[in-house]
Amino acid sequence: MSTLTPDSLVSFSLDSSDLAEQYDALSDLQFENGRRLALDLGIQSGHRILDVGAGTGRLAEHLAGIAGGPEYIAAIDPLSSRIELARRRLGDGPRLSVGRAEDLSDFADASFHHVIFNAVFHWIPDQPSALREAARVLRPGGRIGITTGDRHKSNAFQDAVERVLARPEFQDLSPVDWLPYRVTLEQLRSLLEAAGFEQELLVARSFTDYYNRAEDIFAFNRSSSFGNFLKELPPQRADAARRAIAEELETLRGERGIGLQRHTIFSVAKKR
């Protein structure tokens, strides 16, 4: 099999308003991780927060409720369709804009108590630059919070995909990795230290999620990856792969549905 570079795997141009709407309806897992992260950060009333990779604004809305109002929130996302949904949800109070984590030049030095990367760090190609920018806009002693996929531990869905694509009928295809910038615990620790942060929390937490249908799982992965899931496969081969993956997923069905275990890194670090 040929090897694809990470840059060839991730495209923001595949997103659409339909995928954004679908993600807004299906992003409970990311939202719950963000709620846990907000507790880990110890956010208080009056704190100013920057939500990087805010998606459709569900977490930003929750954070505004903790901080005391939308005027305490700023949020960016590289996908305009998702920022548009965030504007509908949050109104004119917060500062919402299309932007990338590697360039926070719209924000002044030392202007936030917290910077949050919830379910977004594994999409950022230049992670050192993103962390340096986060450190710049944080006040001294401010905290960064990150949730991200754990490269050291694959989840059950990824395992099912890999088993199918390892079959002889798919071995002429390039490998699929739609989360190419995942990190391990130690890699994240090193990146944060290099950017000037002192680690306060670094833990991998495991969860089991249940789905009624394989198509529900595909819909979540299409929308959460803004169309990147299986995009390298020609349409007919992608259909065949989805049918085979669905069969693999059915082997994981129990009384509560198809059970998929995932592993997520939670990190809180303080600016030195």
pLDDT of residue 234: 83
Q: Which two tokens stand for residue 189?
A: 């620790």
Check whether 152 has a pLDDT greater than 80. Answer: yes
- Could you tell me the residue ranges of all domains in the chain? 6-271
What pLDDT, in 10s, does the model give residues 171-204? 776 655 667 799 999 999 999 999 999 999 999 9
At 92, the pLDDT band (50, 70, 90 cuts) reads confident
Distance CA 119, CA 74 (A): 17
More confident site: 92 or 55: 55
At 24, the pLDDT band (50, 70, 90 cuts) reads very high
Maximum CA pair distance of the chain? 58
At the topology level, CATH places domain 6-271 in Rossmann fold (3.40.50)
More confident site: 257 or 92: 257
Q: Which two tokens stand for residue 20?
A: 């954004």
pLDDT of residue 232: 79
Check whether 112 has a pLDDT greater than 70. Answer: yes
pLDDT of residue 176: 58
Residues 19-35 as b or e (16 or more Cβ within 10 Å = b): bbebbbebbeebbebbb
Name the residue among 83, 119, 79, 76 with its Cα closest to residue 101.
76
CB 15 within 8 A of CB 227: yes
Ranges of H-type helices in 104-252: 127-137, 156-165, 185-194, 214-224, 235-250
Check whether 6 has a pLDDT greater than 50. Answer: no
Distance CA 132, CA 198 (A): 13
- Average per-residue pLDDT for the chain: 92
Tell me the average pLDDT across 243-268. 96
Q: Give the three-class secondary structure for 261.
A: strand
CA dihedral 169, 173, 175, 176 (to 10 degrees): -90
Q: What is the CA radius of gyration of the chain?
A: 19
Distance CA 221, CA 67 (A): 31
